Amino acid sequence: METLVHRDALARFGYALSDATRAQILLSLRAGPGYPSDLADTIGVSRQLVSNHLACLRGCGLVVAAAEGRRSRYELADPRIGRVLDDLLGLVLAVDPSCCPNAESENCC
């Protein structure tokens, strides 16, 4: 049975994955907890950008932060998120190039 809660959770997950940086952060956290500075270095973006995206992911309920002195360590809020990401990575999609010529496009399906 589908509920508003289910739809809201899917919408939040979809929103999180709709941005390449947020998607990279989630994929990086599949392997285990991480610190914003390490994530920024790994992904190749600024620490400020990673911090902004981590705040978004926290607000969506996908990651949690644990204070460690002056630093915060981030991890997936639920181990099932990592398994869902693994399943999504295993998908093979038949894409219509006329609909989705550029996967980064805002007009993409």
- Which distant-in-sequence residues (6+ apart) come within 8 Å of 18 by Cβ? none
| Contacts of 73-77 spanning 24+ positions with Cβ under 8 A | 73/33, 73/34, 73/35, 74/29, 74/33, 74/34, 74/35, 74/36, 74/39, 75/29, 75/32, 75/33, 75/34, 76/26, 76/29, 76/30
Which segments in the chain show pLDDT lower than 70?
A: 1-4, 100-109
| pLDDT attached to residue 53 | 97
- Enumerate long-range contacts of 67-72, CB under 8 Å, 24 or more apart: 71/35, 72/35, 72/36
User: In the prediction, which pLDDT does 27 show?
Assistant: 96
The pLDDT of residue 9 is 84
pLDDT (0 to 100) of residue 35:
97
CA distance 82 to 78: 8
pLDDT of residue 57: 96
Which domains, and CATH codes, for the chain? 4-89 (1.10.10.10)
pLDDT score recorded for residue 77: 95
